[in-house]
């Protein structure tokens, strides 16, 4: 799948800003027959200086964090998400990353199975939330 910069409204402005954010930022927009099917945004993170004092030891590794992966619903299960994730994984390897992390909402019916079964990722934590009522 070819990749390019988004060409519409706010997404175009956001993509342009992200692309100009420096070489530690990765942004790709998936294109299929002129239709923007999805995008991925990630950042390369250098090892934390005090990693030995952190609870999460992964911060001591050069790593990539995927901030966002989005695919238009009509393109789900068409290979766009896989292509975008493979592109960011390759970019991370080329930069020397030893780990790629991301967060996904457990309630999303496609996200968790996609990352686990399709892409081979493993769960490493749980995020808890509580909604306050007035």
CATH classification of 3-103 is 3.20.20.70, yes or no?
A: no
Report field, pTM of the whole predicted structure over 0.75: yes
pLDDT of the chain along its 134 residues, tens only?
Answer: 555 555 545 555 565 565 556 789 999 888 888 888 899 999 998 877 765 665 566 767 889 999 999 998 888 888 999 999 999 999 999 999 999 999 988 888 889 999 999 999 999 888 888 899 98
Show Cβ contacts of residue 49 under 8 Å, excluding neighbours closer than 6 positions. none
Q: H or E segment at 94?
A: helix 80-95
Q: Residue 32: beta bridge partners?
A: 35
Measure the CA–CA gap between 1 and 46, rounded to whole angstroms: 29
Which parts of 48-134 are beta strand (E)?
63-71, 99-102
126, two tokens:
């749980």
């Amino acid at each position: 799948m070819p990749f390019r910069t988004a060409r519409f409204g706010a997404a175009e402005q956001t993509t342009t800003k992200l692309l100009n954010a420096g070489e530690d930022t990765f942004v790709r927009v998936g294109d299929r027959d002129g239709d923007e099917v999805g995008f991925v945004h990630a950042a390369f993170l250098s090892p934390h200086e005090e990693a030995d004092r952190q609870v999460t030891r992964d911060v001591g590794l050069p790593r990539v964090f995927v901030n966002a992966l989005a695919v238009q619903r009509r393109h789900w299960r068409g290979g766009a998400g896989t292509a975008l994730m493979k592109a960011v994984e390759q970019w991370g390897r080329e930069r020397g990353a030893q780990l790629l992390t991301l967060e996904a909402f457990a309630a999303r019916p496609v996200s968790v199975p996609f990352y686990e079964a399709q892409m081979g990722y493993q769960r490493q934590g749980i995020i808890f939330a509580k909604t306050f009522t007035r």
